[in-house]
């Protein structure tokens, strides 16, 4: 809703008299709402945004431009970053539920496109995808709020709508296995190294089990965990008849990752939480 004010002036000779001020309101006929497909995000997630526009007036609205800031925020007085990337080719534009030709994109960051029209008493929906990038905050409790602005309606000015998604508070695990030496004589000794990493913002304190089947079977194994010697039956089980190895529940824990934002570039670096298991035995 926009309010306007006006007054008249009466001039005679060298005299000037102002009338009283009257005010009026222009009822807002264009409304915008924005929703995201995901409440939470992690690196690599595809977030689908939908912008719903409703024209409750009796006049067609044409030539509108939509601009999405893709979550731009300031890191310092001198640096702002944009944590979302628009997925090229994902833009869809519907009027009254009917797919329309793709509007021309002016810029990809911020995402801006023109040529949006909404009939009187009608609606339009614009859908597009975005992905978190290297600027997306990942520390637990972080969020991305992005705002879409609808411009081109001179009577009411710009209309805005925003949506907030929060970072997923969860571990993000990976495991990498290596062998040393890679070439070994019969009855030689080898070491398997299992590097377990957590790139998520939540630690793992229980229910984490690592299992392996050594082929060829290892004999007389020794196991270390982050440099400390493990005991069979306390920290792990191993069957020399089958080569099946497994850590016991609760033996492995992983801290959350640490995130460091470069103050010059704004890029977020991930320092994973990690644990290392080494199994040494004779083939």
Q: Domain 24-167 carries which CATH code?
A: 2.60.40.740
Q: Where are the domains of the chain?
A: 24-167, 173-282
Q: Do the domains 173-282 and 24-167 match in fold?
A: yes
Counting Cβ atoms within 10 Å, is residue 113 exposed (0-12), middle (13-18) or buried (19+)? buried
Contact 167, 258 (CB under 8 A): no
Quote the pLDDT of residue 154.
60
- Whole-angstrom distance, CA of residue 158 vs CA of residue 171: 41
pTM of whole model > 0.85? no
Beta-carbon count within 10 A of 89 CB = 9
pLDDT profile of the chain (283 residues), mean per 10: 74 84 72 96 94 94 96 94 97 97 96 96 97 96 97 80 97 96 88 97 92 95 98 97 96 96 95 98 93
Residues near 140 by beta carbon (within 8 Å), at least 6 away in sequence: 167, 169, 201, 202, 256
Smallest CA-to-CA distance from 39 within 49, 30, 29, 31 is with 49
- Whole-angstrom distance, CA of residue 89 vs CA of residue 71: 20
Contact 203, 233 (CB under 8 A): no
Contact 174, 143 (CB under 8 A): no
Q: Domain 173-282 carries which CATH code?
A: 2.60.40
Quote the pLDDT of residue 26.
58
């Amino acid at each position: 809703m926009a309010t306007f004010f006006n007054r008249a002036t009466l001039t005679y000779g060298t005299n000037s008299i102002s009338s009283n001020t009257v005010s009026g309101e222009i009822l807002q006929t264009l409304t915008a709402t924005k929703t995201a497909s995901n409440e939470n995000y992690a690196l690599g997630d595809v977030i689908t945004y939908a912008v719903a526009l409703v024209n409750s007036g009796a006049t067609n609205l044409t030539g509108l431009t939509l601009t999405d800031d893709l979550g731009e925020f300031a890191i310092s007085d001198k640096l702002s970053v944009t944590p979302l990337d628009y997925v090229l080719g994902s833009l869809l534009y519907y009027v009254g539920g009917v797919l329309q030709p793709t509007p021309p994109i002016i810029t990809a960051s911020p995402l801006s496109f023109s040529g949006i029209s909404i009939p009187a008493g009608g609606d339009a929906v614009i859908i597009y995808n975005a992905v978190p990038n290297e600027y997306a905050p990942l520390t637990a409790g972080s969020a991305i709020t992005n705002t879409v602005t609808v411009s081109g309606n001179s009577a009411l000015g710009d209309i805005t709508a925003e949506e907030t998604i929060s970072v997923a508070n969860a571990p993000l695990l990976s495991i990498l296995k290596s062998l040393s030496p890679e070439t070994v004589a019969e009855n030689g000794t080898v070491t398997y190294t299992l590097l377990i990493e957590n790139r998520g913002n939540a630690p793992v304190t229980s229910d984490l089990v690592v299992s392996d089947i050594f082929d060829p079977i290892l004999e007389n194994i020794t196991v270390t965990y982050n440099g400390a010697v493990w005991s069979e039956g306390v920290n792990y089980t191993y069957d020399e008849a089958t080569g099946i190895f497994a850590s016991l529940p609760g033996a492995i824990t992983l801290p959350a990752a640490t995130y460091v934002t470069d103050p010059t570039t704004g890029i977020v670096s991930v320092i994973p939480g990690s644990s290392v298991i080494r199994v040494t035995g004779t083939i």
